[in-house]
A and B are shown apart, each in its own frame.
Chain A
């Protein structure tokens, strides 16, 4: 009868099919949001760029982290956000012969998976994102995620990126435009970003797997199509209004948690020691002097809170625009400098190192003369390890505001060398070397080890 027509039960509230163009912004913003939100509060704090003045950051600062942390990042930003929607774009766009979308989605998917595995180590990968077909995906080894494993049917992250790059070269029925909030549909820039992502992934495993890393980097250098100008940076730009802003702007300037973070005294000491002109660009100084806090310090916080040094507009944008810098020209230069030094890939470490500093300082708006002076004063010197320490330290400064990159580099190389926080407790008083699996996943997926590995158990590529 009409009274019980099937149309009665068709939801008027949600679409059941959408074009890829409304999923792409979700993927891009979700990836940037994951990087810049709680993961950055955690990683920038334990990496002593920020200090925890209250709440979670204060806990992180004394090395306490557990499965209750990063639930949102795992559930809503990565797996249930950027990743599953990237997969959906791949499915929809494959069916509609739009490899421009699948190519971008594969690169984004590889980037977001690298965030997941760098944070948590072994994670669901080859069987993830399949919905009902696999409600409890297997946990793949990080080694297999990076290197691939044919017998287990695991595609390496490198091959995933390469597949995406290949898609970008195909004819596409539809192409992204303004829905691509990163490059506005410029596929040439996407190719450069994809190749630069290969460099980043190779760099991450370079201590554990130097030969493979060298092979990948050599190949990218030979292809000669990677980010080599700041204008090509793989940046996600946010907006200036409520609900559109970079999370770092929100949680340092707007939200009720804005007084959780303050500049670390140790970071101030480092940059002042180097006489680094980027300091006032990266950080605010509302009072006569920088007001900072030592990592893990207890006692009454500096007053009033309006004097605290916080992320400056270089990091957050003047009104929350960001950008979140996911792959950059300076990063590429530092990676090639490190590879040239440690793996013997093409190029001169000092030249590439200077290129990295110059790229960073140019972004920061530092005058050329000051840049030249700074590069001269901080030229690479000493043993291979000392030079590596310089490269990583400069990368650490340049990447201010992207805590995950700082934490990855420190775990790989041990640089920059830092003293433990005051009052450090945590699992054994040492700085975390992995994020603990979110308890939600433990509750729902019996493939996860329970109890989960604690924060003092290294991930596979952390071989130093």
Chain B
């Protein structure tokens, strides 16, 4: 038969045809044709996104032509929910959102999470930078755990898939590591379904308390006994984007003097200044501006991606093969990201009723990076290049390969990107094997085993002369991780349960889980032979080490689903877990959920041309979460002191003998830990309007996380840094909204709009008795602490704040009885600078006020144009780069009227306690430095940004053009990514996040900049 559109009679390719009650089915080809052999009296279900689903009784017909009418959008879709259970979307009492292949593939972006940016309601995705493979953070419905991972659980084809970020060394200085979801090839993804709340994900247990992302890769289902080969190729270029505007009037120096070893541009003007200067090497150089000395440092990067898929089979037996390769070169020489994926999969239904299926995947991912961060790295220096330094053309190394630079505390960026390198090679296997058996018509038993394991072999080389390791060092790291899951699923269903119209489904399950990881590092210091990057070149190995983790969990779960006349649904679940990481007395914990869904338009026959569909839903769920391993005891660790200024690490070598040394670990253990819990309530509404041309999905949720397992900060003078305990409460309330509409569909032209909106309010309700703030675990600079603070959202940045005039405490400092100057900065009457700061103040909130994405797709005949704009409103960024650019006098604004004195905003306290406006004039350098140094509120900026995230234009060749070729279909397209942004409150791109995926957000600590990508792609089907 043939399937066409009832609107304009055009052929509909890719329509899914399923024999009702079976997994047998087919899809239409490019002409809308399909072929399917079925038993007599079968019912065929024709479904196609954007069209109303039709059911047709086959009877004796041999040809069934169907006209599908448009309008029904995502209303009768089958979605994959927790544990791979396929459900009719209308039956769900909680929120899920699906993103199809067309919105993921060919987006100039090799990382799936980045490709999802701006497309999901309730989900916050923040990329780290334009560095290849740099990790991307994702949080669904806010932060629910003080200390644990707030990243959702990732499930790929039923496999619990590690999205860990394995960090070598310190996140403040080290090259950016990938989040391991980067091992998935976006071109091989069929669909992504996001299970947003705990209710949706509760069957996965603890680890899905932050939501789950269910990824389905392309398989051979519904190939209708045909084998199809699809080839995708794309080539993109990548350029640095988002640098600030610089001044080009004043050169290197301070206090209007030339200084040969400063990063600042507070020196002499170019006009009227000297014609030449002598640099730190004693050489003469012309004294002039180099306007593009930062921009031209970067090279053009490229991303070349090729994927081939082979799929075939029918409803009973199918197979798929996929091969993919991505080769990315970054914007600096060492940046690269190369990934090769191979996947095989298949399923078969045996005659005895047993169904077996499996997939096996191998990925090799090679990532190349360079050190970043404040200090000696290239990116730490690129924000501090004097305007008169010819970064591009000055020699960067001497005859011995040693860095030449105007600053001896750092390396020349050109040297650094070539000599401070981190290369990682991940070899990863993952796969599943499932065997199922229909015991009776109503009872199915299935066992599924999944495994995911990888090794990441890393070599971090800091060549001799590196600022952080002047005598050179080589760190050979090996990470190993494995996870095994066994799930027994017993599924019973009843079509007629007690009364007519009531059907039910009962699922019982058992999960056995083991996660192991190990890292070993050989740390070779004090190298002898320049350029020899083998650990045998080291003289000192005392910092070498190992770390292993094992955790296990056994879970039992049950789900009962009831459906009444397909318009009223109830679902109850419960899960009990036993975890190895909790004390024996507290290691078993149970948590339930309940959800209802009701379709009044069906129940009360309310359908009209205006209101086509309505569904209300509600859910309540509780999810327990265990601890990380090994938190129960206090431990000792090998001792070390110092930082990059100077350091010692035990065992020390003193006078030819080795002296071991251990120290108390900074954390106080707790043998009485109990699980933490997240409870969530959600109500939602789905509406289909105007014959479902417009559909709306709205949700309001409230989550409360209690009994948090957290390392509470203790006073360092107690001798410790933190103590592990169950504390506090964290709340999230939020609104998410998705709107789909097809405003125009006429004579082959179609315009689709998708809008999503997210607003989440997070609040730390309480921490621990006597504790009102505490730092979040992770690397940080002293004085700039990502924190939890009572009454504030999660992750606020605590630092030193400039004192302000107040009128609340008459006995306090800076009290203004008149109230006239309340809120103004207090100025030191001696210096004209801000008065000494108050430590421990909240200076920035990195959480956005709201976010939204708007996607438009226009299609006409074979042409389609898609454009995604998104915005993040509010939230703040703490930026070292900004502080560098501004206090160093290289930012454009610091060049304006530089010879004029300036006055910092604020007031001065008189001797009688009253205030007067500040009138102390400062030179430009003092003024701009005073406005904001590194650890001050002056480095905080509004992170609001509007972005043209993605544009793609595709052309599908008409079928008739291909009739003499072996091609079944062909399309060509161009795509662009991050083409334009507008940030009203910041002079560069605020979407940077140096520490990558994790709980510490909103810090720009001299990481790589973002990039703009664009290119072409080609898709061929044979």
Contact = CB atoms under 8 A, between A and B. Distances in A.
A439 to B, nearest CB: 4
Interface in B592-650: 629-630, 632-637, 639, 641-650
A247 B647 CA distance: 7
Given A135-B714, A303-B278, A439-B840, A259 B261 contact: yes
Interface stretch (B315-323, B664-672, B677-685, B1008-1016): B664-672
B691 interface: no
B719 interface: yes
Contacts of B407: 54
A87 interface: yes
Interface string A10-45: 111111111000110110011001000110010000
B652 A243 contact: yes
B800 A3 contact: no
A54 B785 contact: no
A137 B645 contact: no
A26 B635 contact: no
A321 B632 CA distance: 40
A25 B661 contact: yes
Interface stretch (A63-71, A365-373, A401-409): A63-71
Contact of A439 (B643, B665, B800): B800
B552 A4 contact: yes
Contacts of B546: 13
A83 B719 CA distance: 7
Contact of A305 (B280, B376, B648): B280
Interface in A117-176: 123-124, 128-132, 134-137
Given A237-B655, A259-B408, A75 B721 contact: yes
B798 A427 contact: no
A14 B636 contact: yes
Nearest to A135: B714
B280 A303 contact: yes
Interface residues of B, number: 110
A275 interface: no
Interface stretch (A186-194, A343-351, A442-450): A442-450
A23 B376 CA distance: 33
Contacts of A248: 646
A17 B669 CA distance: 13
Given A4-B552, A299-B257, A451 B813 contact: yes
Contact of A298 (B257, B471, B584): B257
Determine which residue in B261, B408, B654 has the highest number of CB atoms from chain A within 10 A of its CB, and name it. B654
B896 interface: no
Contacts of A33: 641-642, 648
Determine which residue in A66, A72, A80, A447 has the highest number of CB atoms from chain B within 10 A of its CB, and name it. A80
Interface in A222-245: 237-245
A181 interface: yes
Interface in A49-78: 53-55, 66-68, 71-72, 74-77
B935 interface: yes
Interface in B498-556: 512, 525-526, 539-540, 542-543, 546-548, 550-552, 554
A420 interface: no
Nearest to B262: A54
A443 B798 contact: yes
Given A301-B261, A304-B282, A37 B646 contact: yes
Contacts of B914: none
Determine which residue in B629, B653, B714, B716 has the highest number of CB atoms from chain A within 10 A of its CB, and name it. B716
Contacts of A242: 471, 525-526, 539-540
A29 B648 contact: yes
Interface stretch (A210-218, A249-257, A376-384, A410-418): A249-257
B719 A303 contact: no
B468 interface: yes
Interface of B is mostly: loop
A76 B714 contact: no
A260 B800 contact: no
A99 interface: no
A11 B427 CA distance: 27
B528 to A, nearest CB: 12
B860 interface: no
Contacts of A81: 639, 641, 663
B409 interface: yes
A444 B543 CA distance: 31
A5 B580 CA distance: 7
Contacts of A111: none
Interface stretch (B30-38, B385-393, B830-838, B846-854): B830-838
B659 interface: yes
Given A16-B634, A25-B652, A37 B584 contact: no
B881 to A, nearest CB: 18
A460 interface: no
Interface residues of A, number: 108
B660 interface: yes
Contact of B782 (A178, A254, A439): A439
Contact of A13 (B547, B551, B775): B547
A313 interface: no
B783 interface: yes
A451 B839 contact: yes
B281 interface: yes
A179 B659 contact: yes
Contacts of B652: 25, 29, 181, 238-239, 243-244
B716 A305 contact: no
A251 B646 contact: yes
A79 interface: yes
B632 A9 contact: yes
Contacts of B261: 53-54, 259, 300-301
A72 B580 CA distance: 35
A137 B718 contact: yes
Nearest to B725: A132
B105 to A, nearest CB: 41
A74 B546 CA distance: 28
A209 interface: no
A386 interface: no
B645 A9 contact: no
B714 A444 contact: yes
A300 B410 CA distance: 18
A88 B663 CA distance: 9
A257 B468 CA distance: 9
Nearest to B813: A451
Contacts of A305: 280, 408
28 contacts: A3-B554, A4-B552, A8-B580, A9-B551, A22-B661, A25-B661, A37-B641, A37-B645, A38-B645, A67-B800, A75-B721, A76-B641, A81-B663, A124-B718, A129-B717, A129-B719, A132-B718, A137-B715, A239-B653, A241-B540, A242-B525, A243-B542, A256-B468, A258-B408, A298-B257, A300-B257, A427-B831, A450-B838
Interface of B: 254-255, 257-262, 278, 280-282, 375-376, 407-411, 467-468, 470-471, 512, 525-526, 539-540, 542-543, 546-548, 550-552, 554, 578-581, 584, 587, 629-630, 632-637, 639, 641-650, 652-655, 657, 659-666, 668, 712-721, 723, 770-771, 773-775, 782-783, 785, 787, 798-800, 803, 813, 828, 830-831, 836-840, 935
- By Cβ-Cβ distance, the 6 closest A-B pairs, closest first, are A84-B719, A250-B646, A247-B646, A439-B839, A256-B467, A71-B782
Interface of A: 1, 3-6, 8-18, 22-23, 25-26, 29-30, 33, 37-38, 41, 53-55, 66-68, 71-72, 74-77, 79-81, 83-85, 87-88, 123-124, 128-132, 134-137, 178-179, 181, 237-245, 247-251, 254-260, 298-301, 303-305, 321, 425, 427-429, 437-447, 450-452, 454
